[in-house]
Chains A and B, each alone.
Chain A
Amino acid sequence: MKNTIKVERARHNLTQQDLAEKVQVSRQTINSIEAGKYVPSTVLALKISKVFGIALEEIFELEEGD
């Protein structure tokens, strides 16, 4: 699953640590999600979209094979 978290972070001027604190996970988890190594749960994905104030589908996108 692709995501635009890195872009949104830059747009909102947030570091990985800032975002991690806002959604109550570790910085490593945010890093893994950005790198596509970990697919977040629905709850975490919704929390992330809430931080950025945009719809879930604008951040996460299914890839072929998902």
Chain B
Amino acid sequence: MKEKSILHVPLLSPAWKKVAFLFFPLPVLLVIGMALVQMEISPDDSAQIIYGFWAIGFGILNLSREKEEDEMIKSFRLQAFQTGFYWLIWGLGALMMINYLRFGRITSEIFSAYLVLFLLNAYIYGAFQYQKYMCNKD
């Protein structure tokens, strides 16, 4: 059965996972490096740099093919995207609630596109790995 081309999502080769893992320590080293050379950067900006890099890392992991990308893995992937989005909504709701209880308002400087993308991709990755773990568990 042929898929409609406009809906088809091309996945990256599994080798990209190695590249993705580089994005996790890189921003931490970058922020430390910027602090060492005494660049003026606010803690909020540092956090955004880290969220941005981690979002890209998780994004690459989520869009990389498994070694054996069969229909079960495809179904896990679809479920992971749905579950990840669901967890994101609850996660953001929880962050807003915490912010409201602590500072009396639901908005905060830390809420940014980088944070949302990082959380979304992290949740998707978590949901995908959880399904694979449950499937391999006896």
Contacts and interface: CB of A to CB of B under 8 A. Distances in A.
Instruction: Say whether A and B bind each other.
Output: yes
Q: Would you call the interface of chain B mostly helix, strand, loop, or mixed?
A: helix
Interface string B45-85: 00000000000000000000000101111010000000000
Q: Would you call the interface of chain A mostly helix, strand, loop, or mixed?
A: loop
A28 B71 contact: no
Interface residues of B, number: 10
Contacts of B101: none
A32 B135 CA distance: 6
Contacts of A28: 68, 72, 135-136
Question: In which size bucket is the chain A interface?
Answer: 10 to 19
Interface of A: 24-26, 28-29, 32, 37-38, 40-41, 43-44
A1 B73 CA distance: 19
B70 A24 contact: yes
Contacts of B136: 28
Contacts of B41: none
B72 A38 contact: yes
A29 B132 CA distance: 10
B1 A43 contact: yes
Given A37-B135, A38-B135, A43-B1, A32 B72 contact: yes
Contacts of A25: 68, 70-72
A43 B71 CA distance: 10
A34 to B, nearest CB: 12
A21 to B, nearest CB: 11
